[in-house]
Structure 1
Amino acid sequence: MSDTREFYGRWADLYDRLASLPFAESWRERAADSLALSPGDTVVEMGCGTGANVPVLRRRVGPEGRVVGLDLTREMIERARGRPDRAGDGVHYLLGDATRPPVRGADAVLATFVAGIFADPAAAVDAWCDSVRPGGRVALLNFQRSENPLAAPLDVAFEGFVRLSAPGARLSRQSHAGAFERRVAAARDRLTERTVDRRYETFGGGFLGLVSGRVE
C-alpha cells in the first residue's frame, strides 16, 4: 500500500487536472444515477481521489444527506478539502484503506477507476457491499477495452494508459493491461454475486463500463 500511496501522492496535481476535465462530467452523472440516490441518503466513495465526484453526489443527496470520501493518499484528501465545491456541510473525507472501509450502513457506495489497482479486487467489493445497508446500491465505473470496431486503433493505447495510471507499471517491461482487465473482471464478477437488480452499461465509445447492483 505504501507504493500506491506514494504514487498517487506524487501525481495528485495531474490527477486532479485530468479528473476535472469537462467531458468527464457526463460520466459522473451516469455513475451517480446508477446509485438511485434520494435526498437525505449517505453515499460513500471508495478511493475518492481529489473529490471530483463529490459535487454530483451532493446534488443527489441534498443538504440533509451526507457524502463520505475515503482515500489512502493524504495529498488527494487535502486537495479535495481545499476545493469549495467539494467540501462544506454534509461532506466528510476520511484517510484510510478502501479495502477495509471504516463505515457501515451507507445507502450507497461508488468506486470509480479503482477496482483495477487492488491485488484482491473481489475482497474489496465484499467490503464495499458489507458497508451498505440492505437495499442499498454499489456501483463500479472502470476503463476497459472497447468492443466497437471503430475504436480498434485506440485500443493500442490501452496498455499505455494502464502504465501511466497504475503504481509500479511504468517501470516494468511486462504487459499490465491483461492483469488490469482481470482485476476489473474479478471485481465485477463479485459484485454480480453479491447483488440483485443489476445494471450494466457502456459509454465513452465503449471505453467505460458501469456496473451496479442492489445489496439484499
Structure 2
Amino acid sequence: MTDRLGRTQRFYTRWARLYDLLAVHTPGIGSLRAAAIDRLAIQAGDTVVEMGCGTGANLPLLCQQVDPDGQVIGIDVSTGVLSVASDRVARNGWANVHVVRGDATEPPVEKGSADAVFASLVAGMVDDPAGMVDEWADLVGPGGRLGLLDLARSSDRRARPLNGLFRRFVTTANPRSVRESTAPLATLDRRVAAAHRQLGERCSDADSATRALGFARLSAGTVD
C-alpha cells in the first residue's frame, strides 16, 4: 500500500462514524447527491460501481435506481468506512448491493462488467484525477455512463465570503496529506477541474453544472 493510500485508509477508518454523520446529515448534501445520481441516468437492471463509496451514503439512491434486477458495487480503500457501509447494507437487506475494499485508481472490477461508474468527492483525493477518469471510462466501455460529484472553491461573487469557511472544511475533513499541502484549495480546484474536464473528453454528450452557489460540480455523460 502506498503512503497516500495508507494515510487515507487510517484517516477515514479513525473518523468513519463521524464522517457518516456528516455525509448523511450535512444540510443540502442529500439533494446534491440525488441530483448527481439523477444525471447518471441509471436504468433498471444496470450494474453500477461507486468509486470511493465511503460509508455508503449514496447506496440507497443507487439501489433504488437499479431496482432488484440490477446491482450496486461500492469500492473504498478504508476498512473503517466499509464497515459502516456493510452495516447499512445489512440493515436494509439489500441482496444486490456489495461493498469491496479497493483503490479507485485501480478498481478491482473486470472491464466491461459495469454499465456505469459514479464517484462523489473522490477527484480531489488523487494525484492523477484525469488518469483515474480514463480508467473508469475504459472500465465501462463505449455506451457506459460516468458521473461525478465534487466540491471546490466557488467563483460566484455571492459565495466569495464563504470560501474561507470552505477552506476550513477542506483542511479539517481530509487526511494530513491534504491539510499540510502548500496550497490545499488550489490543489483541490485543479484536481476537480481535471477530472470533470476529462469526463468531457471521454463523453461527447457530457452534461455539467454547478450547484450550491458554485461550490458543487456535477458532471455525467456516455463514454464514446
Give the counterpart of 1:62 among 64, 67, 83: 67
Q: Could you tell which deviates more after superposition, 180-189 or 161-170?
A: 161-170
- The aligned residue for residue 195 of structure 2 is 187
Give the counterpart of 1:53 among 45, 58, 72: 58
Task: Note the C-alpha offset of 1:8.
Answer: 1.1
Q: Is the 8 A contact 1:80 1:86 kept in 2?
A: no
Q: From the superposition, tell whether residues 170 and 147 of structure 1 become closer, same or farther in structure 2 (CA, over 3 Å).
A: closer
Q: 2:37 & 2:207 partners in 1: Cα distance?
A: 13
Higher helix share: 2
Q: From the superposition, tell whether residues 20 and 117 of structure 1 become closer, same or farther in structure 2 (CA, over 3 Å).
A: same
Task: Note the C-alpha offset of 1:139.
Answer: 0.9
- The aligned residue for residue 76 of structure 1 is 81
Higher strand share: 1
Q: Is the 8 A contact 2:118 2:148 kept in 1?
A: yes
Q: Could you tell which deviates more after superposition, 22-31 or 164-173?
A: 164-173
Give the total of aligned pairs: 216
Q: Are positions 1:200 and 2:198 aligned together?
A: no
* Structure 2 unmatched runs, 5+: none
TM score, norm. by length of structure 2: 0.91
- The aligned residue for residue 98 of structure 1 is 104
- The aligned residue for residue 13 of structure 2 is 9
* Structure 1 unmatched runs, 5+: none
Task: Note the C-alpha offset of 1:86.
Answer: 5.7
Q: Could you tell which deviates more after superposition, 86-95 or 33-42?
A: 86-95
Give the counterpart of 1:119 among 123, 127, 149: 127
Task: Note the C-alpha offset of 1:2.
Answer: 0.6
Q: From the superposition, tell whether residues 167 and 71 of structure 1 become closer, same or farther in structure 2 (CA, over 3 Å).
A: same
Q: Is the 8 A contact 1:41 1:66 kept in 2?
A: yes
Identity fraction in percent: 46
CA RMSD across the alignment: 1.7
Task: Note the C-alpha offset of 1:16.
Answer: 0.3
Q: Is the 8 A contact 2:170 2:179 kept in 1?
A: no
TM score, norm. by length of structure 1: 0.94
Give the counterpart of 2:183 among 168, 175, 185: 175
